[in-house]
Structure 1
Amino acid sequence: MQKPIRRAALLFGLVAGLTLWQSGATAQYSETKPEEQKPQAVPQSGPDKGVGETVIVPRPRSTQPSRTPADQDRPGQEETFRFRTDVELVSVSVVVRDKDGNFIPNLQKGHFRVLEDNVVQEVQRVEAAEAPMTVAMVIEFSDLYWEFLYDTFQAAYGFVTSLKPEDWVAVIIYDMKSQILLDFTRNKAAANDALNQMRIPGFSETNLFDALSDVIERMESAEGKKSILLISSGVDTFSRTRYDAVLKLAQSSSTPIYAIGTGQAVRLWYEGRGYMSSPGGLTFLQADNQLRSFARLSGGRAYFPRFEGQFPGIFNDISAALRNEYTLYYRSTNTARDGKFRKIKVELVGPDGKRLKVVDQKGKELKYELTHREGYTAPRPVE
């Protein structure tokens, strides 16, 4: 009897502490801002605007999202998104970094070579201008690992505080099922109010695969520099969606997934005292690998912070990656509507067609890597 009472008392204490911590979060994270870069052209708004549709509005999976004419902005109404589906034009978001993690700027269309199933494609245009971010936050909020909740709140509140005024954010939480706390908005206060609804978790399930697959599908029609921020232990309990099915969705998605693994410090404490022996230790290793796979296949990154001081750097890295990415567009030479997966490879090439050589200000050659999604699934015939 004492153990449940003690656990409840600790949980209430955690919530109270987080409430006090939140009041100082804005000042803490505003001190560390992403590095400002001069964009080539800054759009005045994010993705195309319209009235009446948002990415979070529930829709049947068996039907395509409706395509309505763009509505004119109406005074007194909050901006929402209009979505466009173009099955012929393929877009690939590419992040180019050197070995130290610095972004390589000023690349032009001629520097990129795209191969689809090893067939060279003609790049029609490359967009590199800074634009507002569109981020769907998917947050595990369950009683399964209540000890991890501090990391959860650190990541959620801290990321919202790091957003710029023109960025869009939505908040989705999940345990046994997912729940939309907030549709896309630029209002940080509204986002924090949504996070404030996360008080006492009600269930001990973490159906990660169901929640993530649902959000991936919803985000496909969104435009702009979009991403999913997954804040999770990486553990799935009883999802109806299989792991391999989520991997396929992530692999073919145009939305990169940035994952923050929670509970690393708590796990380290338990490991040091011999409490993380099998099978518990293997469960968390598998969970970490799942988060890494979601991020890698979709063109994002996974982070596993052990210390509070690491969070601002993570937020800066995610923001900088989205703001410094190149978006490539091409029309596939494969016109078959067969529903098959098509593998994408992006390379940097020089005028001679060989691998592009990148040097620093001193003329020293830099090693670099490209991050992008692995491919996409071709459309099927319309019946």
Structure 2
Amino acid sequence: MSRFERRGYGSFRSPERFRFCCVQVLRSMVAALCLFLFVAGAAAQDDDVHIQPRANTDPKKPPDANKVADNTPTPEGGFKVRGKPIRTDVDLVLVNVTVTDDWNRIVTGLEKENFTIMEGSQPQEAKFFASEDAPISLGVIFDMSGSMSDKITRAREAVIEFFKTANPQDEFFMITFADRPELIADFTKSVEDVQGKLVYTIPRGRTALLDAIYMGMNKMKDAHNSKKALLIISDGGDNRSRYTENEIKSMVKEADVQIYAIGIFTPNPSQPEEAAGPALLGDVTEVTGGRLFTINNPNELADVATKIGIELRNQYVLGYRPSNRTRDGRWRKIKVKLLPPKGLPHLNVFAKTGYYAPSQ
């Protein structure tokens, strides 16, 4: 055995040869390690892929300028728009308009040219127009006072029929009232939830109608949809509320909420508040662009509720920028007039009667 072999170099003939081979082996190992790390890193990235959006090729256009607006109805039928889309603007006044004939049938198919808007004595130019079935935030204010005992079954049926006109994107809440208002169902998209809560209510006590309207208007501040409406079902006036009629009228004028009401009134009321009921609900609904439906027979409740639900989904929306740009916070009167196509019978227009101008 050679002296190199005795020192541990094995079959290598010199220390230089041994060192050279060791270096080559180390290089191979380092290369293999780097290759392993590279493959592992690539595999990990496959689990979390991030695609960089394509850069905008035209610097003069915003990133979404090349997109085309799609007004195609959704599969659920939730939002159907004919005409230009409405965009929110602090200086834009939007007016929901209902058109009916003298038989109270909804009239659809009109165009922007068939409407004129007056603010005070000044005509306004309608910049935006749409006929839409947009998602609605709906609140039902339901009279559970003692006088509703003989009407409660039909009234519950009316609420069910009203909800049958709803779309999947709608949301609802319900307030019952007697001596005081109570929120029995908060905002939900489940009609069944609201109906289930209504089954267990029992008519009793007096009628805090104004307080219930106040609670309903406050609750609408939590709404998720831009279109909002309240439906009041009651058989009389108010004899229990803390809020006054003037306070509630001022409140509904400030809010952008349409109010509809079904009044089940006694033909010859014996109490002053009952006699005042139709006028109260008429004033509250008219200023918002809603309507009061008066019935004498509770059996008519369901049909009227269905009609209101359909009406809410067949309205026109007009938008204009007021020629009076003064921000004085004052009440501005609005009047929507109709220029119907030739050959149509007499038509009726329902819209809110005004709005408060911005104060700053």
| C-alpha distance in 2 between matches for 1:214 and 1:255 | 13
Counterpart mapping for 1:160-171 below 5 A: 160-171=163-174
Q: Say which SS state the counterpart of residue 276 (structure 2) adopts.
A: helix
1:376 aligns with 2:355: yes
What is the aligned residue count?
281
- Please report how far the alpha carbon of residue 91 of structure 1 lies from its aligned counterpart in structure 2 after TM superposition: 1.0
Counterpart amino acid of residue 73 in structure 2: V
Question: Measured at CA, do residues 306 and 164 of structure 1 come closer, stay the same or move farther in structure 2, by a change above 3 Å?
Answer: farther
| C-alpha distance in 2 between matches for 1:85 and 1:183 | 27
Gaps of 5+ in 1: 1-39, 48-83, 349-355
- Name the counterpart of 1:240: 242
| C-alpha distance in 2 between matches for 1:41 and 1:95 | 23
Question: Measured at CA, do residues 234 and 253 of structure 1 come closer, stay the same or move farther in structure 2, by a change above 3 Å?
Answer: farther
Question: Measured at CA, do residues 346 and 41 of structure 1 come closer, stay the same or move farther in structure 2, by a change above 3 Å?
Answer: farther
- Name the counterpart of 2:230: 228
1:116 aligns with 2:119: yes
Q: Say which SS state the counterpart of residue 288 (structure 1) adopts.
A: helix
- Name the counterpart of 2:105: 102
Counterpart mapping for 1:197-216 below 5 A: 197-199=200-202, 201=204, 204-216=205-217
- Name the counterpart of 2:184: 181
Q: Say which SS state the counterpart of residue 298 (structure 1) adopts.
A: coil
From 292, 302, 319, the equivalent of 1:312 is 302
- Please report how far the alpha carbon of residue 157 of structure 1 lies from its aligned counterpart in structure 2 after TM superposition: 3.4
List per-residue Cα deviations over 1:97-123 (Å, max 9, x = no partner): 122223332222233222212222232
- Name the counterpart of 2:73: 42
Counterpart amino acid of residue 378 in structure 1: A
Counterpart mapping for 1:136-155 below 5 A: 136-143=139-146, 146-155=149-158
Contact conserved, 2:77 with 2:167, CA < 8 A, in 1? no
Contact conserved, 2:162 with 2:308, CA < 8 A, in 1? no
Q: Using structure 1 for the length normalisation, give the TM-score.
A: 0.65
From 294, 303, 326, the equivalent of 2:316 is 326
| C-alpha distance in 1 between matches for 2:209 and 2:347 | 33
- Please report how far the alpha carbon of residue 138 of structure 1 lies from its aligned counterpart in structure 2 after TM superposition: 0.9
Q: Say which SS state the counterpart of residue 103 (structure 1) adopts.
A: coil
Question: Measured at CA, do residues 239 and 312 of structure 1 come closer, stay the same or move farther in structure 2, by a change above 3 Å?
Answer: closer
| C-alpha distance in 2 between matches for 1:233 and 1:287 | 8
Q: Name which of structure 1's ranges 365-374 and 114-123 shifts more when overlaid on structure 2.
A: 114-123
| C-alpha distance in 2 between matches for 1:316 and 1:176 | 28
RMSD: 2.8
Gaps of 5+ in 2: 1-70, 80-86
| C-alpha distance in 2 between matches for 1:123 and 1:85 | 15
Counterpart amino acid of residue 333 in structure 2: K
Q: Say which SS state the counterpart of residue 369 (structure 1) adopts.
A: strand
Question: Measured at CA, do residues 308 and 328 of structure 1 come closer, stay the same or move farther in structure 2, by a change above 3 Å?
Answer: same
From 266, 283, 306, the equivalent of 1:293 is 283
Counterpart mapping for 1:47-86 below 5 A: none
- Please report how far the alpha carbon of residue 94 of structure 1 lies from its aligned counterpart in structure 2 after TM superposition: 0.3
Q: Say which SS state the counterpart of residue 97 (structure 2) adopts.
A: strand
Q: Using structure 2 for the length normalisation, give the TM-score.
A: 0.69
Q: Say which SS state the counterpart of residue 256 (structure 2) adopts.
A: coil
| C-alpha distance in 2 between matches for 1:242 and 1:172 | 19
From 308, 330, 341, the equivalent of 1:358 is 341
Contact conserved, 1:257 with 1:295, CA < 8 A, in 2? yes
Question: Measured at CA, do residues 240 and 87 of structure 1 come closer, stay the same or move farther in structure 2, by a change above 3 Å?
Answer: farther
Counterpart amino acid of residue 226 in structure 1: K
Question: Measured at CA, do residues 311 and 145 of structure 1 come closer, stay the same or move farther in structure 2, by a change above 3 Å?
Answer: closer
List per-residue Cα deviations over 1:201-222 (Å, max 9, x = no partner): 4xx2322112213322443674
Q: Say which SS state the counterpart of residue 185 (structure 2) adopts.
A: strand
Aligned-residue identity in percent:
27
- Name the counterpart of 2:161: 158
- Name the counterpart of 1:66: none
Q: Say which SS state the counterpart of residue 105 (structure 1) adopts.
A: coil
List per-residue Cα deviations over 1:331-379 (Å, max 9, x = no partner): 223333322111111123xxxxxxx2434xxxx4411111001011123
Contact conserved, 1:158 with 1:311, CA < 8 A, in 2? no
Q: Name which of structure 1's ranges 367-376 and 334-343 shifts more when overlaid on structure 2.
A: 334-343
| C-alpha distance in 1 between matches for 2:72 and 2:262 | 31
Question: Measured at CA, do residues 136 and 346 of structure 1 come closer, stay the same or move farther in structure 2, by a change above 3 Å?
Answer: same
| C-alpha distance in 1 between matches for 2:170 and 2:274 | 33
Counterpart amino acid of residue 320 in structure 1: I
Q: Say which SS state the counterpart of residue 187 (structure 2) adopts.
A: strand
1:303 aligns with 2:293: yes
